[in-house]
Amino acid sequence: MSALRYAIIGSGMMGHEHIRNIQLLENTVVSAVADPDEAMRKKACEIAGPETKSFADYRQLMADGAADVLVIASPNYTHVDVLQDVVSCGLPILVEKPLCTTVDACRKITALAAGRTAPVWVAMEYRYMPPVAALIDEIKAGVIGDMKSLSIREHRFPFLDKVGDWNRFSHKTGGTLVEKCCHFFDLMRFITGANPVRIYGSGGHDVNHLDETYDGKIPDILDNAMVIVDFDNGVRCLLELCMFADGSYYQEHITAIGDRAKIETLVPGPSRFWPGARERQAKVILSPRMSKIVEQRPIPVDEKVLSAGDHHGSTYYQHLRFNKVIRLGGTPDVTLEDGAIAVEMGVAAENSVRSGEPVLL
């Protein structure tokens, strides 16, 4: 196999994580980086290696022909413009979540990509987190029986600092329930195998960033919320988010309950935010009904994979799947439609929080 040349458009923290994980793949090289911020671009090139080409504008990168694959990891609000410019090329594309910040923008990009032969993959890496993947496999195998409910809890640290502080304002992120939670809405659809029909959200901006101002404006992003989603197969889902729970030993706790058993997984957050940068092991717990026998098993992840990013190995396993589709053919695991529906769910949840009313989809 010849080496695939990956180009990174957007070289912030997530761009750097993509570079480190792509480097773990066989016969791949990060050939180019594009970002208007010189410092982040320089750091990305240091990670990628001395042969990496550097561009201040992604259009220069495209004109150079330095890539076989594109990874778009620029700020959320830029996705629609970048995708409009590159979707007509014949290269495979992986675009970070959220696909876009509005439903209309997602529809626009989906329409532009119609008939495209090269894959466009929306980065929903939580599907590939080893403990989450183990939970999904058990559910799909029927271990819990007929699933009735699914809950996803994330207790974590606040939004990190980003170049230009773009992640402090909803008009640039899409809102917290789009920016942060489209992952979880995608998981809900994927695990239930169904589509949402009603969403109700309650949330607030109560603790984080209240003492910050940017050009005289206070950040308007939610820092906590609860969202209930009813699906068309009768399954009910709950999302609980708190972004001022920095000391949580586990960051994500996902629970599915069926008529035969309950299964749950506990996932630690990034080790670099834990004292001593100590990694904690994820686990899956199976609790059958009418039984006191509870099965707990740890889910190990290769240390090299864990050290390549903040998402418990999921970025690597996602790239492994994407790379296979590029080389062997097939359709993306996470399509533009999947990405668009996840945004639609996030927007609906944001609207419900503001109105106090449920939103029908």
| High-pLDDT (> 90) share of the chain, % | 96
Give yes or no for residue 34 having a pLDDT over 90. yes
Task: Write the pLDDT tens digit of every residue in 168-212.
Answer: 999 999 999 999 999 999 999 999 999 999 999 999 999 999 999
pTM of the predicted structure, to 2 decimals? 0.96
Residue 291 has pLDDT above 80, yes or no: yes
Q: Is the peptide bond before 98 cis (omega within 30 degrees of 0)?
A: yes
CB 225 within 8 A of CB 245: no
Nearest by Cα to 239 from 180, 310, 288, 316: 180
What's at 5, amino acid-wise?
R
Alpha-carbon gap, residue 257 to 279, rounded angstroms: 28
Give the model's pLDDT for residue 354.
97
Place of tokens 């994407």: 322
CA distance 203 to 152: 15
Gap between the Cα atoms of 332 and 94, Å rounded:
10
* Per-residue confidence band for 273, with pLDDT thresholds at 50, 70 and 90: confident
Task: Please state, in angstroms and rounded to a whole number, the distance separating the CA atoms of residues 313 and 302.
Answer: 8
**Neighbouring C-alpha atoms within 13 Å toward the C-beta of 278:** 6
Provide the pLDDT confidence category of residue 275 given band limits of 50, 70 and 90: confident
pLDDT at 278: 86
pLDDT averaged over the chain?
96
Per DSSP, what are the bridge partners of residue 140? none
pLDDT computed for residue 292 by the predictor = 79
- Statement: residue 279 has pLDDT above 90: no
* Domains of the chain in sequence order: 4-124 (3.40.50.720), 126-302+336-360 (3.30.360.10)
CA separation for the pair 13, 19 (Å, rounded): 10
Write the DSSP symbol of residue 77: G
Per-residue pLDDT for 11 more than 70?
yes
Q: Is 275 helix (H, G, I), strand (E, B) or coil?
A: helix
- Residue 10 banded pLDDT, cuts 50, 70, 90: very high
Residue of 93, 139, 135 whose CA lies nearest to 335? 93
Q: Is the pLDDT of residue 223 over 90?
A: yes
**Residues contacting 20, CB < 8 A, separation 6+:** 47, 308, 309
Residues in the chain: 361
Query: What's the pLDDT tens digit per position in 252-266?
Result: 999 999 999 999 999
Q: 1 pLDDT exceeds 80? A: no
pLDDT digits (tens, 9 = 90+) for 68-119: 999 999 999 999 999 999 999 999 999 999 999 999 999 999 999 999 999 9
151-170 confidence digits (pLDDT tens): 999 999 999 999 999 999 99
Q: Residue range 6-24: average pLDDT?
A: 97
